[in-house]
Structure 1
Amino acid sequence: MAQMSFCDSRPADLHKKEKRAPLRTWANACIPKERRPPADSDETRGGHCKAEPERRWVRTRLPVSAEDGIIMDYAEQQGAVPTGLCGREEVALLLCLRGLHSLQVLVPSLLHHEMEVTMEKLGLIYDKTYAWDIFSDMMRNQSQYTFPSAELPRPFTDSTRAILVDWLIQVHEVFHFSEETLYLAVHLLNRALRQIKVSISNLQLLGVVCLFLAGKKEECLLPEVSELCYLMENGYSKKQLLRMERRVLCELKFDLSHCPPLHFLLISASIARCSDKVVWMARYLLELSLLESQCVVFQPAELASAALCLARRVLQEPPTPEGETAWCIASSLNVCSEPTRQRIMQILAVAAARAEGQDTRASLIKFSTAETLHVSSHPALRSAPHLLGLHCPPTRAQMREGAM
């Protein structure tokens, strides 16, 4: 089942066939009959054909409502901008010669090219021909993964939810599940808490069931039900777990679809040519958003944009011309308004500054390893709120030390 989604990570060369040129590519190489020069024309006799007018991609009137704010499509029109300039060196040269306006004209065609290369490199698609269509669908449908309000039904609180999510992150690490499984599990948990009446005593069972369902959709190998019961110290039986699973599936109408903000983050970071440290820092900040109940009202692309911007601001890597050019191209994917981005960045900055003193430390420990470049222990995170002009409230540990 995990192999049916275009967003899934796929093992390489499982069904690899001989690569052939797509039919559309082959067809475009042939000149249509109505555009072929006459047989007796002067051009054919002289052996020289008049060059076709060059083309460029320009943005058209978007076929969506204003409140959606989604980049949907580009139309091909006649122009004088070369379509072959897809390299970073050529773009940087044009910036020096003609200024920023040239880059703005080239962005649509560059964006299409970069989207194809990026999604193919990340393993999100099989055929890069459909890269832009798939990304447009991701942008169009992401609003269904948000909630109108961050309030939880009684008797649940933000604190109990954060403790449960932190425990799920630990279980997720034990089973070595993919990151998509974690984001889907938390999304299912957010939906289930609002649609199913569950007591506090069954909250842990609900969380495990959401992780189990996410694993069934995203993973190839799953743990036994008895293993899940063992992780809950056998506080629930197999029958109770399977009954809760059936209940969750029925209440959610078997809808387990979700496009995680991680995919938007990786796409933007790849197009922007971000360094490994910036990407790991952004992934850490994005995972912290899972613990913050306030973040459920924001769209996945907005969360990814804010996490990437905050990571760049925290690390403050020296800018380069090629890096700024790539970031300008990636920023054209941004549909997040500046107030919304600032609001999310404030939430993530405060969460990162307080993470070390919180009881929920699973993400902090997870991103403190050498594999993740120790980003969670970066000293600049403690002063992240000050970078945004905020005052960071004291942590629980600091309050306990002050009381002593």
Structure 2
Amino acid sequence: MAQTGFCDSRPLPDLHKKAEERCAPLRTWANSCPLKESRTPSEGEKLGEPKYQTEQTYRWVRRLPLSAEDGIIMDYAEQNGSLHQVTGCERKALMDCLTGLSGLQSLTELLPGLLHRELERAMSKMGLICDRTFAWDVFTEMMRTQLRCAFPNADLPPPFTDAMRAILVDWLVKVHMLFHFSEETLYLAVHLLNQSLRRIKVSIASLQLLGMVCLFLAAKKEECLLPEVSELCYLMQNAYSKAQLLRMERRVLCGLRFELSHCPPLHFLLLTASIARCSDKVVLMARYLLELSLLEGQCVVYLPAQLAGAAVCLARRILQEPPTPESEAAWCIASSIHVGSEASLLSIMEIMAVAAARADSRETRATFIKFSTADTLYVSIHPGLKTAPSLYGLSSPQT
């Protein structure tokens, strides 16, 4: 495959940005509207009494209905009553529960309200919403959308193998870095590649062309500036013409039925890390582990939320930062959005731990080099990664 050079990665978003620095929500615009003129009450009408009898109002209670299989959040329910509001006293009660001073029953009652407020804060900080009123609706849609991302099994159609796919994804990481594309573009490109390999009949000779087309389509959806088609052909050493690239693009779009939407695991990772008040190093370590999972064919069967939760859990175990009551309380809230069984979470963490332990010695080293710079706090060369498999009773793989 064509060789490309490495360049510095784009600056990572600041998860700890102050709320004052964000734009004012849209609801504040209503505060600037002039007050209506006061009305003089008519004869026989008491001041302060409503003129019309209002019907009983309903509010949406943000609870988490779960499916029978994996515990996926499917919808919310309408009930009487107001939404549970979280106060400072309740947050203190949560920390008391974690230290064994209270029963677990009160902890269960506090979690939904705490999670709702933390999701609003995290999504507002990430720029996913303009008004916090829609935070839960956006989160629910994210949980629904991810169901279309996973596959029933990890098998690739012949004659492709996981090794071929890993080499192609590694090359896409290099091209992605060369163009300074966003991280969402990379995750969408790999998702389109996984879908295309299973829906479109492609020869081994056209595999690199397919990968470049998937990256090009992802860039069209996520980026503001796009490279020229001739530039893409040059990166493939002109092994394919412009006409071949455009024909392959048409085949991919028709094969996927123009379904290019994808909820990347990166968004779930940033939400979890923001709610859990993770440090910058934990976030970067989790991002590194999550990007390594793109090369692992076994990971395509898992949901984005599962991959993100496993990456954050493993990053916390590797770095072993000193816990505090506040951090443990925040992690308890963040872990409540994890989906799937404990066994599936451990399986993903084992895959990531083995991949991280051998990342520096593999042929596919693009992600390892990407996260070995000062901007990423050298997380890929952290000594704890070498012993990560031993956390799960596994031996470090030898290549």
TM-score (norm 2): 0.82
- Which position in structure 2 is the counterpart of 1:66? 68
Q: Residue in 1 aligned with 2:371?
A: 367
Whether the 8 Å contact between 1:152 and 1:194 is mirrored in structure 2 is yes
Q: Is the 8 A contact 1:162 1:360 kept in 2?
A: yes
Check whether the contact 1:95–1:102 (CA below 8 A) recurs between aligned residues: no
Q: In 1, Cα distance between the equivalents of 2:77 and 2:336?
A: 13
2:255 to 251, 254, 267: 251
> Which of 158, 165, 171 matches 1:161?
165
Superposition map of 1:2-401 within 5 A: 19-21=26-28, 59=63, 62=65, 65-71=67-73, 72-73=75-76, 83-85=86-88, 91-92=94-95, 98=102, 100-395=104-399
After TM superposition, the structure 1 stretch with the greater mean CA deviation from structure 2, 287-296 or 131-140, is: 131-140
The Cα shift of 1:280 comes to 0.5
**Residue pair 2:292, 2:367 contacting (<8 A) in 1 also:** yes
**Cα distance, 1:200 vs. partner?**
1.0
Across the two proteins, how many residue pairs are aligned to each other?
354
Deviation at 1:76, TM superposition (A): 6.4
The residue matched to 2:295 in structure 1 has which SS? Answer: coil
Partners of 2:24 and 2:385 in 1: CA distance:
47
In 2, Cα distance between equivalents of 1:106 and 1:76? 18
Deviations 1:185-243 (A, max 9, x none): 00000111111111111111000000000000000000000110110011111111111
Contact residue 154 and residue 298 of structure 2 kept, 8 A = yes
- Measure the CA separation in 2 of the matches of 1:321 and 1:267: 20
Distance in 1 (alpha carbons) for counterparts of 2:194 and 2:83: 51
CA distance in 1, matches of 2:338, 2:297: 23
Measure, in 1, the Cα distance between the counterparts of 2:24 and 2:332: 37
Query: In structure 2, what residue type is equivalent to 1:21?
Result: T
Q: Percent identity?
A: 65
Q: Is the 8 A contact 1:85 1:91 kept in 2?
A: no
- The structure showing larger relative contact order (alpha-carbon pairs under 8 Å, at least 6 residues apart) is 2
Structure 1 unmatched runs, 5+: 1-15, 27-37, 45-54, 396-404
- Residues 150 and 303 of structure 2 are in contact (CA less than 8 Å); yes or no, is this contact kept in structure 1? yes
What CA distance in whole angstroms lies between the structure 1 residues aligned with 2:85 and 2:266? 34
For 2:98 and 2:359, how far apart are their aligned partners in 1?
42
The equivalent of 1:402 in structure 2 is none
Contact 2:25 2:131 in 1 (8 A): no
How far 1:77 sits from its partner (Å)? 6.4
